[in-house]
Amino acid sequence: MSIDLKNLTIKKAHEALTRGDFTAVQLAGSYLKNIEEKNPSLNAYLEVFDDVLSQAEKADKRIKEGRAALLTGIPMAIKDNIMIEGRKVSAASKILENYTAAYDATVIRKLKEAGAVFLGRTNMDEFAMGSSTENSAFGVTKNPHDTSRVAGGSSGGGAAAVAADMALAALGSDTGGSIRQPASFCGVVGLKPTYGAVSRYGLIALGSSLDCIGPLAKTVEDARIIFDCIKGKDEFDGTSVDFTKELSAIPDTISFTATKNFLGAVDLKDLREQTLESYSKACDTLSAAGFHYKTAEFQGPTAFDYSLPAYYIIMPAEASANLARFDGVKYGLYKGGEALLDDYGKTRAFGFGEEVRRRILVGAYVLSHGYYDAYYNKAQKIRTLIKETFNNLFKEADVVIWPTTPTAAWKIGEKKDPVSVYLSDIFTVSANIAGIPAISVPFGEVEVNGKRLPLGVQLMASYGRENILFEVAAKLLKF
């Protein structure tokens, strides 16, 4: 039977499944057909699981027994750095190409308990290091809106899968914008939760103080449904927090802050004309929807001027420590040498890609004797200033609005200089540094060479206030 995947949402699918309009097996089969047709050209999936239909059969049984949750039978894609017991999980790296996960990530366990159907694992930048999925060891993921362009990163596979109707929703991870940026490029919704709101247990770590797992979805409501399923304190993650009390109430009136110069991070004149137009229209739309609008203006440099350089010190430092475990001894790729040190060198030289090696070297450098205080400690002080700046903003407003990215998706292979790629994270890294929640929603398009490319707008709120983000984002898209 034919199912209208383009207009399907989680709630619509749930209602149709419980009414018997179609079965979970039929729904999964429709997505498998789309994957078969589209994935060869998009490379969103690294692997499609061979038991998708049997997972769907179990969901159908649960539905017939009247035990269906909202996510029962919902086909989802999982980023290749989130562990599913008995499945390969490579982080899109040669060094873990054939590694099989020994346990379920907490988010996976919760989704299994809800009855979700896992379609497969999606492509990403190697170890989540990148903003375009061009750094995957297994080929770039292409943008469904224009296959000559990147899908974004590092969760590019998941964003492309949702945008191309190859999954109803996906899980990604966000260390400096890795959910929000591909969501913007592909025209979907992407949520980076408050740090600690979702357990990181079972996520292959990049930057442990920055990493967050979150949803990619077609609607704000779908993102909220998935977040409500996976959130919560976890005994296996000491940084996880129960924000139930904080999430329970929404203010009677919500105000938002836009910034004339984006708090010093980027001046308006540095934005592409189309991005500025989309951002300005989003501010006007929220005002017309009844939200009180303030403009924040700063004289001189602020902490946000240094958010990107601070991020690219903190993240590589943590990455160099986290990736030290991949040495060819305990698990993963092994390349033998004449002695132990030679084993390490050959294994890591062959197993790690260029961008991963670059960030390990930078991280080791900023943590080394004589440079730790000059770089890493100074970056942590800037982190404190960024948190304080956000705290002051949230005393005046409930939501801060920025663009998600300075531009629409760029051409594959266009950016040769790694720094130019790093600059694409300029609007997203601050939320990770501060640990606050942020959501990117599709808002506007730009025509380039006859192709309509999506643009995104980003909303940020204070710690544990995802409920406000969902409320404002939903009204932004509906008004």
Nearest-CA neighbor of 178 among 44, 318, 79, 316? 79
> Is residue 35 one of the residues assigned to a domain?
yes
Listed in sequence order, the DSSP H helices in 397-465 are 418-422, 429-434
Q: Highest mean pLDDT: which of 252-261, 265-274, 391-400?
A: 391-400
Q: C-alpha angle with apex 462: 458 to 468, nearest 5 degrees? A: 65
- Cα dihedral 92, 94, 99, 104, rounded to 10, equals -20
> Is residue 104 one of the residues assigned to a domain?
yes
Please tell me the distance from the alpha carbon of residue 160 to that of residue 334, in angstroms, as a whole number. 32
Is residue 211 within 8 Å of residue 435, measured between CB atoms? no
First to last CA, the chain: 34
> Is residue 353 one of the residues assigned to a domain?
no
> Is residue 19 one of the residues assigned to a domain?
yes
Could you report the per-residue pLDDT of 269-320, keeping only the tens digit for each? 546 677 888 888 999 999 999 898 888 776 666 788 899 999 999 999 999 9
Nearest-CA neighbor of 130 among 202, 81, 196, 203? 81
Q: Is the pTM of this model over 0.75?
A: yes
Could you report the per-residue pLDDT of 415-469, keeping only the tens digit for each? 999 999 999 999 999 999 999 999 999 999 998 888 999 999 999 999 999 999 9
> Is residue 77 one of the residues assigned to a domain?
yes
Could you report the per-residue pLDDT of 23-57, keeping only the tens digit for each? 999 999 999 999 999 999 999 999 999 999 999 99
> Is residue 478 one of the residues assigned to a domain?
no
Q: Which is catalytic among the residues 79, 142, 218, 415?
A: 79
CATH number for 108: 3.90.1300.10
Q: Which is catalytic among the residues 136, 178, 184, 307?
A: 178
Please tell me the distance from the alpha carbon of residue 356 to that of residue 353, in angstroms, as a whole number. 5
Please tell me the distance from the alpha carbon of residue 96 to that of residue 207, in angstroms, as a whole number. 18
> Is residue 131 one of the residues assigned to a domain?
yes
Residue 178 annotated as catalytic: yes
pLDDT for 262: 42
Domain that holds residue 160: 10-245
Q: Which is catalytic among the residues 30, 90, 136, 154?
A: 154
Residue 154 annotated as catalytic: yes
Q: How many CA atoms, within 13 angstroms, populate the side-chain half-sphere of residue 285?
A: 18
> Is residue 456 one of the residues assigned to a domain?
no
Please tell me the distance from the alpha carbon of residue 13 to that of residue 168, in angstroms, as a whole number. 9
Please tell me the total count of domains within the chain: 1
